[in-house]
Each structure stands twice: as structure tokens, then as C-alpha cells.
Amino acid sequence: MSAIKNFIFRRRGRDGGWHWTDIVTWVWLIGGTILMFGPALWLVSSSFKGPAQLAEFPPTLLPYVQEVATVEGHDAPLPLFEATMEDGTTRILAEIRRIGTSAQMVDPADPGERISVRLTDRTPLREVGLAVDNYVDPFLSFDFMRYLGNSVFVTMAATFLTLLTNSMAAYALSKYRFRGRDAVMLLIIGTLMVPLSVILVPLYSVVSAVGLLNSLWGVILPTIATPTGVFLLRQYMLTIPDELIEAARMDHASEWQIYWRIILPLAAPALAVLAIFSVVWRWNDFLWPLIVLSRRELYTLQIGLNTYAGELNVQWHYILAMTVVTMIPVVLVFIFLQRFITTGIAGAGIK
Amino acid sequence: MARFGETVGRVATLPLVLIARAFDPVLRLWQRGTGTGGMVAFFLLPNMAIFGVFVIIPLVLNFVYSLTGGTNILLGDRSFIGFGQYGRLLECGNYLQPLTCREDQFWTAVRNTSLFVLFQVSLMVCVSMITALILNRNIAGRGFFRAVFFFPVLLSPVVVGLIWRWILQRQGLMNLIVTNLGFDPVVWLNDRFFAFAAAIGVSTWAHMGFYTLILLAGLQAIPKDLYEAAEMDATPPARVFWRITLPLLGPNLAVVLVLALIRGVQIFDEAYVLTGGGPGTSTLFLTQYIYEVGFASFLRNPGLAAAASILMGLVLVVLTLIQLGLSRRAERGNTR
């Protein structure tokens, strides 16, 4: 037991005491954990609150819903309130309707008697509960299903094409000697210097010239020839021994067969890293789809979300729920990958 | 578990294998006709074609655009005006006061971006340095904490912007904290100072995990025996930091610095979703200026946007060249 305790609270202090750096470390790590996850958790919690609760201040930590009761003589369930009566006692009453500054209420146990209560004399009865409508409505009545579909299509198509074209180029650049190879490599590295924001206007006119404006392919195609991907795959393929290729050629394998039967399976770890990068990049893309897509039915999730959030009358209860939906794939990537985060991504990211 | 993953992988790649196999006979013919050289061309073609069409051609066209005038975005309908757009951007009474310039929005964006880069990069380097040093210590749950700081890096800028817009709104979490501490609530994003600070804080929050990992990789490459030797000599920790850690981390630190600079200059997405450039023009940054002049605003002027993006590109080219040199040095340092 004390071994476990010693392991968890490994300290710098020689005599088992707390050195100041130990305190700083744990304050920083625990504070950091709250700061990194807290905002997302707050978003998730808020996304289950109804519109009325979202407008309240101070906000509650957990989502609540108003309790309701079915009362004889009324078809729909009525909301329950705790009302203070004139004699100072409190009773639990259901609201039938509001009239001006007072409400007509009824005791669920005694449906015959109508009681008039001023609005200021009552507080709603609430219990912890989830406003699931926030999630259901956007899919039924807004275009969110379509946005989701567009995002999934763009992400999958772009990732597939990125892996294919980048691995083919990387194979040629790592396993063949030909004139101009260094020039091609230099060109690819050079394009690292050309971020989207620098070529926005001409890229738009090129995409419009090839007829891809307002098309999901106009979003996909310009993104797939990533210099990072070619670089990453080439570096990895350089470590695959040439003898394997020579042996395959002896067996009359064609160059295309060597590529997909030998090189691709062996480069699987690098391909997996690039696939994950590509999924996150394309799912999160914002500026370029914002420019190419102007028809609503083509919006990706990110653009749709930004459009709804930019409207004059922001419907936060829907936006928060859809933000959570948008976050889900990335959270899944995070959960599956956190073991590898420290090793692989840092090295690849520098380039 | 491993075998399960293998099976899943095999099933998922089966259609691709079938497609690849279908191409076999065609490409064998192609190879017979053109030789290995033809195959190299075939492998390079898709990637290079896309590079050419969507990167190289736009790059060249950008210069052409910056020399033309008018509001039409199709190049054929634009008139050649020479360096007029550059002249318009650079015409200014006093560069430190954007309102005295002809393109006051451009210079506001330049000033905002410079201030943003200055503060955000300093904050970013400090925070990720401290985090990396702490994560490099021999603590329990190290792997978990490393992942924690990487979480926001994966979130989309729209999600990041909306999360923080929600926290900073009038009835939001931030005001709950502030009122509990006894202060008056603030509408954070309607205040020029706080909106700017929020853009800095939020973008640091979103990206610090990435830089922390680069620094951590550098810290772990420092040979342990150096620290052991220092401990035997009873060197004070501060001295160990200044004399061993910092010099040996130098290349990685430089990469982080320049990379953060490059990204900082291009700041757009999360700031745009968070503040939309406001209140007023207090968080208008260069990329948003280019986007709005090029596509969005009433006074659309693609030539002006192209000229502005070329000026921004020049800054980025210089920064990238520095970064490439430094990362090569860092790589050599890490493998040593």
C-alpha cells in the first residue's frame, strides 16, 4: 500500500517531504486538466439544458428539467410549481394557464379547485434531467443531417485520396532514381511555405475555372496533395529495404504490384498516422469550405454551425448540442490515440 | 486484441485490394510500353497534377491578380493597373496610426496581428515550456497528463470558438466565476480589451499542447548522465536549468518559436468564430482582412486582397526559411 502511495506521490524532497517543485507540479497538472477538459465538459452539460435554463444567471452546473404531472381533465402534462400561499404555507401546484401577472393553478390531488397565484410567489420544481430535444430537433427540422453527411463524405473521400496520391508520390520519390527527383522534392517542401490564406483569391478562381465551385469536390481536391503527407511517407519508405523490391522484380512483379502488395502494407504505420491527421484536418477545415460552398445544402458541419451561430437570434440550445456532435469524432480519435500522442505526433508535426 | 485489429484491417482494406488488383493488367501493359520511367511518371502524376493546379498555378496567378483592378473575380474581366494595389496598401501618413492610412483596415489588421503575435507567442512559449518541464518529471500518470494537454489541439476551430463564446457570454461560466469572486459581470466579447485578450488566451489554449510535445521530445533527448553529473557536483537546480536544459533544448525551442510565429501571423478561424473581428475592428486580423476584401465585404477588391496576401506571404516565407534551417539543426541535435 505504501509502495503505491510512494509511487503516486513521487517527490523531489529527500526526506519524503514536499519540495516546492512538487507542489507546483501537481497544482499545474490538476489545474491544467480542469482547464483543458473543463470547457468541453461545460459545453456538454449546457447542451442538455432547455432554452429557459440557458438564459438563467447564475447558471447551474447540471441540466435540470421542470417536473410535470398529469392532472385529471387536462390532456397534456402540466408543469409543477412550488407556490407560497397567502397564509404563508407552500403547496405544490400545477399551472393551467397564465393570466397577466398571475397564473391559474390547480392542486394535482384536488383537480376541481382553481387557485390564482401571482407569478412572483412561485418557483418551478425541477429535477436533474436532459433536454434531449436539443439533439433531436436539429436533425429533424434543420439541415444538420445533411451537413453531417457532407462532412463525413468530404473527410472520407479526402483522406482516401490523400493516402493514395501521397503514398504513390512518396514511393516514386523514395524508391526510384530519376532525373529531377531532388527538384520535385524541393518543390514539395517549398509548398509548405504556401498556406491557404496566401493564395485564397487565385485558388478560388482556379476552382471556379474547373467548375468545382459549390461542389464538395471543390473542397476535397485542393486539400489532398499535402506536402506533410508526402514527406512523412517518404521518410518512412526510405527505411524499407530495397532488397524486398529487387526480390519481387525477380519474381516478375510489376511496379504497380510492388507498390500495393509490398510497399503499402509495410508502410501501414505511417499510413495510419497520416490517415488520422487527415481525418482531423478535413473534419475541422473551415476557411476553404467557407469560401467554396455558398449553397446551404452543401455546407459541412463546421460551416453550418458557424452560420447558425452567426444569426441574429442565436438558438444556443441547438448550437451547443450540434457543437457536441461535431466534437464526437475528434474525441474518439483522442481516446484511441492518447497512448501514441507522446511519441508519434510530435516527431511528425515538426515538418 | 492485436488479432482483432488485424481482422478489422483486412476486411476494411478488402475493397481497396480488389480495386488495386483490377488495375494490375492495365498498368502492366503501361509498364511494358513506357518502361520503369513511365511508371515513375504514373506514380508522381496525381499528386503533382493537384499540386500544380491548386498550389503552383494559384501562386503565379496571385501576382497577376495583385496587378489588376476592378471588383470582378474572373481574371479575364480584370484590367491591368500595375503596382496600384501595392501603392494603395502602402500609402500612409503614419504607419503606427492606421487611421491616417488610405487602407486603414489593412493597417489596423497589421497592427492587431503584430500585437497578437507578440503576446500570443510569448505566452505560448512560456506556458508550453513550463508544461513540458513538468511533464518531463518522473511523476505518476505522466502518459495521461501528456494526452490531457493535447486534447484541445484536436478540436476544430469552430468548436473552440463556440465553446469559448459560450463561456464568455453574458450569462456564462466566466461571469459566474467573476461574480463569485465579488466582481461585477462583464460582457467579455463586447469589450475591446477583453475580446483581444480572449483571442490570445483561446488560441493559446487550443494549440499549446502541440508545442508542449515538441519541447518534451527535446527534453527527453537530453542525456541523463549530464543531470547525474550535475547532481554529484551539487549544482543548484536553477543553474542546471540555465546551463544544461536551456542550451540543449535551444534548437527545439527555436522551432517552437518560429512555428508559433508562422501560425500566429495566419490566425483566423478560432478568432473569427469567437469575435468575428469585433467589437469594431479590435480583433480584425490579416487573414480575415484578406478574406473580407477578397470575398465578403461590399467593397470587394480581389486585387487588393491578392496584394495584401503577397505581403503577408513574404513575411511567412522568411519565417519558414528560418524554421526549415532550425528544424534541420534540431533533428541533428535530437539524434546525437
Q: Which residues pair with A83 in a beta bridge?
A: A91, A122
Provide the β-strand partners of residue A81: A93, A124
Q: Please answer yes or no on whether A256 and B330 come within 8 Å at the CB atom.
A: no
Contacts of A234 in chain B (CB under 8 A): none
Q: Mean pLDDT over residues B191-208, rounded?
A: 93
Place of cell 541523463: B224
From CA A186, how far away is CA B19, in angstroms rounded? 32
Q: Mean pLDDT throughout A142-150? A: 86
Residue numbers of A between 90 and 149 with CB closer than 8 Å to B:
none
Over residues A234-256, the mean pLDDT reads 89
Give the separation between CA B268 and CA B225, rounded to whole angstroms: 44
Domain assignments of chain A as residue spans, ordered by start:
2-46, 65-128, 135-349
Check residue B125 and give its pLDDT: 93
Terminal C-alpha separation, chain B:
36
Q: Residue B244, exposed/middle/buried by CB under 10 A (0-12, 13-18, 19+)?
A: middle
Q: CB-CB: which of A305, A333, A349 is closest to B158?
A: A305
Read off the pLDDT of residues A47-102 as tens digits, 9 standing for 90 and up: 888 777 777 777 777 777 777 777 777 777 777 777 777 777 777 788 777 777 77
Closest CA of chain B from A117, distance in Å: 29
**Chain B interface includes A172 (CB < 8 A):** yes
- A239 exposure class (CB count in 10 Å sphere: 0-12, 13-18, 19+): exposed
Task: Please report the number of interchain residue pairs, chain A to chain B, with beta-carbon separation below 8 angstroms.
Answer: 291
Inter-residue contact A309 to B270 (CB < 8 Å): no
A194–B contact, CB cutoff 8 A: yes
A116 three-state secondary structure: strand
Instruction: Return the amino acid letter for A55.
Output: A
Residue A11: the pLDDT is: 54
Task: Classify residue A61 by burial, with Cβ atoms within 10 Å: 0-12, 13-18, 19+.
Answer: exposed
Taking the C-alpha atoms of residue B117 and residue B115, their distance in angstroms, rounded to an integer, is 5
- Kindly tell me if the per-residue pLDDT of B14 is higher than 50: yes
Residues A341, B237, A11, CA angle at the centre, nearest 5°? 60
Q: Please tell me which residue of chain B has the smallest CA distance to A34.
A: B148
DSSP A343: I
Give the model confidence (pLDDT) of B227-250 as tens digits.
888 888 888 888 888 888 888 888
pLDDT in tens, B136-177: 887 777 778 888 888 898 898 999 999 999 899 888 888 888
Q: Do A199 and B214 touch (CB under 8 A)?
A: no
Query: Regarding predicted confidence, which is higher, B182 or A152?
Result: A152
Amino acid, res. B315: V
C-alpha separations of B228 from A16, A18, B132, B140, B288 in Å = 20, 21, 20, 21, 51
Whose cell is 527545439? That residue is B252
Set out the domains of chain B in order of their start, with CATH numbers. Answer: 2-66 (no CATH), 99-335 (1.10.3720.10)
Give the gap in angstroms from C-alpha A146 to the nearest C-alpha of chain B.
18
Instruction: Please tell me the distance from the alpha carbon of residue A12 to that of residue A21, in angstroms, as a whole number.
Output: 8
Looking at domain A135-349, its CATH class is mainly alpha
Return the residue of A nearest to B75 by Cα. Answer: A205
Average pLDDT, chain B: 84
Cα gap B46→A49, rounded to integer Å:
49
In the numeric block, the cell 407552500 is attached to A90
What residues pair up with A64 in beta bridges, in sequence order?
A128
Residue of B nearest to A43 (CA): B163
Q: Does B34 score more than 80 pLDDT?
A: yes
Given this model, what pLDDT does residue A254 score?
A: 86
Q: Does residue B237 contact residue B284 with C-beta atoms inside 8 Å? A: no
Residue with cell 503516486: A8
Helix (H) or strand (E) run with residue A33 in it: helix A20-47
In angstroms, what CA-CA distances link B84 with B76, B106, B244?
18, 15, 53
Has residue B303 got a pLDDT over 50? Answer: yes
Beta-carbon separation of B295 and A28 below 8 A? no
Which H or E element spans position A84? strand A78-84
A34 touches chain B (CB under 8 A): no
- CB of A351 within 8 A of CB of A232? yes
Please choose, from the candidates B122, B42, B330, B300, the residue with its C-alpha nearest in 3D space to the C-alpha of residue A176: B42
| A65-128 CATH pick, 2.30.30, 2.60.40, 3.90.380, 1.10.260 | 2.30.30
Cell numbers at A108, concatenated: 394535482
CA dihedral A200, A201, A204, A209 (to 10 degrees): -140
Encoded amino acid at B173, one letter: L
With CB atoms and an 8 Å threshold, state whether A338 touches B143. yes
Cα–Cα distance measured from residue A212 to residue A298, given in angstroms and rounded to the nearest whole number:
12
Instruction: Check CB contact of A202 with chain B, cutoff 8 Å.
Output: yes
For residue A1, is pLDDT > 50? no
Q: How distant is the Cα of A72 from the closest Cα of chain B, in angstroms?
A: 38
A179 interaction partners in chain B (CB closer than 8 Å): none
Ranking A211-215, B6-10, B220-224, B321-325 by mean pLDDT, the lowest is B6-10
Q: Which cell is A278 given?
A: 487527415
Q: Can you give the pLDDT at residue A107?
A: 79
Cell of A91: 403547496
Strand ranges inside chain B, DSSP E: 68-69, 79-80
Cβ–Cβ of A349/B214 closer than 8 Å? yes
Does A165 lie at the interface with B, CB-CB under 8 angstroms?
yes
- Chain B hits for A341, Cβ within 8 Å: 146-147, 150, 213
* Cβ–Cβ gap B327/A286 under 8 Å: no
Q: Which residue is closest to A284 within chain B, CA to CA?
A: B156
CA distance B87 to chain A (A): 19
